[in-house]
Amino acid sequence: MLAKQTMLVKEKFCKIFFTFFFIFFLFSSLASAGIRDELIKKIKTTNTLSFNFEQKIKNKKQTGSCDIKYPKKINCNYNDSFKKRLVSNGKTLVVIQKRYKKILYYYPLKKTPLYFLLDKEYLIKFVSNSIMLETNKKFFQFRIKEDKKELDIFFDKKTLDLKGWKTKDIYKNDVEFLIINQKVNLPVDDKIFKIPSADNL
């Protein structure tokens, strides 16, 4: 008799536990879906981003400012002694040392991890179908792995603004990029995304 009562208690406990777990999972899924929908809406309505940044490679920190214009355009100026500039016209990404009037690298944009971030349609599709990670109290994170490229993208939990990304450079060093003082949908002149010729640096 006692064994039977113990069995019934265990069965009741299991039912309560699984019911609680199911309800918790359901509400978590609904909350996650709501946040995802808001995030996608924010991405869709974002046409330009202007911001300052801090970039960290190994223990070296760099600062500067960037403008992004969808689709696929970026222009970043670094506050370093080389006056480094990174610019994409939507197809090609180049790295320039303005101080020495030298183009260091030419890349097809599609071959770089930044392509995932700058292609808004790709980003919307990825966010719609991917697992959203919560790495800390401040950020939502999405991890893209494709064609031997990897990019972690971070969004602010409160505002859903893009807050930065993490990837690897051509030397396999971790590159962390943090966005500061972001402004959305300001007018940005297309001229700044033009790839300069070697004679026009």
Contact predicate 43/120, CB 8 Å: yes
Question: What is the band of 153 on the pLDDT scale with cuts at 50, 70, 90?
Answer: very high
Q: What is the mean pLDDT of residues 33-47?
A: 90
Question: What is the band of 85 on the pLDDT scale with cuts at 50, 70, 90?
Answer: very high
Q: In the chain, what are the domains?
A: 46-200 (2.50.20.10)
Q: Six-digit token pair at 85?
A: 């500039």
d(CA 150, CA 36): 21
Q: What pLDDT is recorded for position 149? A: 86
Q: What pLDDT is recorded for position 6? A: 55
Could you give the 3-state DSSP secondary structure of residue 58? coil
Amino acid at 24: F
Question: What is the band of 119 on the pLDDT scale with cuts at 50, 70, 90?
Answer: very high
- Is 18 a residue whose pLDDT tops 50? no
